[in-house]
Amino acid sequence: MLSCKELTELLTDYLEGRLPLGDRMRFRLHLAMCRRCRTYREQMRTTIGTLGQLPAEEIPPDVRDELLRRFATWKRSAPR
């Protein structure tokens, strides 16, 4: 059985269809018994759908380059 915390950590993979069958079944079982997590799932679906309707904005090249540089080094500099 999944906890609510575990469900929230798996939600993106669930919504994108990337959960293995066993995890998907545990996920659905938890949803069947937890109204708060069903509400959370629907809120996330609504948020994703709404954000998907926003027009894309251009990122200035210098900002894009700096973001890419930071993401590239983020894992290496994260404390273990």
Supply the range of the domain harboring residue 68.
4-74
In a domain, 16, yes or no: yes
CATH number of domain containing 45: 1.10.10
* Domain presence at residue 25: yes
Write the secondary structure of the chain as one string of H (helix), E (strand) and C (coil): CCCHHHHHHHHHHHHCCCCCHHHHHHHHHHHHHCHHHHHHHHHHHHHHHHHCCCCCCCCCHHHHHHHHHHHHHHHHHCCC
How many structural domains comprise the chain? 1
- pLDDT, averaged per 10 consecutive residues of the chain (80 residues), comes to 94 94 96 97 94 88 93 72
In-domain check, residue 80 = no
The pLDDT score that the predictor gives to residue 80 is 57
Q: Is 79 inside any structural domain?
A: no
